[in-house]
Amino acid sequence: MSTFMAKAENVERKWYVLDAAGKPLGRTAATAAMMLRGKHKTTFTPHVDCGDFVIIVNADKAVLTGKKLTQKYYRHHTGWVGGLKEVQYKTLMAEKPEFAMQLAVKGMLPKNSIGRQSATRLKVFAGENHNHQAQKPENWEK
């Protein structure tokens, strides 16, 4: 009996909806990263991008546990001298909750071409409405 190896042209992708309301940001991001990578499938193959499309709704209602709202910062550098910019997560979650969720998911994906390709299948919305009803997404309850 040989090991099954998926091929990129044979991968079937489904659409799933994750509801982040009242759940920790990291838990939701970890579930989304697992689904984007395809690890929930029995046909998972490490060198093939076999993940599904993931829609995260209610990103603005995701919860940061502990003192992360005040102690955690998003930092990036502009490239100029003294160009380190930092934003407190309290501000980030209030102004751009979609970006905070995308950052969390992106950090849990592999840092290679498969991870970059998987990140394009993530769709994040602050409210509970999304514009992907035509794809007939299923709710993910686990």
- Count Cβ atoms below 10 Å from residue 23 Cβ, excluding itself: 16
The pTM of this model reads 0.93
Confidence of residue 1 (pLDDT cuts 50, 70, 90): confident
Asked whether residue 18 carries a pLDDT value surpassing 90, the answer given is yes
Distances (CA, A) of 40 to 15, 34, 35, 71, 119: 13, 7, 6, 33, 16
**How many other C-beta atoms lie within 10 A of the C-beta of residue 66?**
9
* Range 125-137 average pLDDT: 96
Residue 87 bridge partners (DSSP) = 74
pLDDT band at 96 (very low <50, low <70, confident <90, very high): very high
Per-residue pLDDT, 111 = 97
The yes-or-no verdict on residue 142 having pLDDT over 80 is: no
* 21-66 pLDDT per residue, tens: 999 999 999 999 999 999 999 999 999 999 999 999 999 999 999 9
Q: How confident is the model over 95-124, as a mean pLDDT?
A: 97
**N residues, the chain:** 142
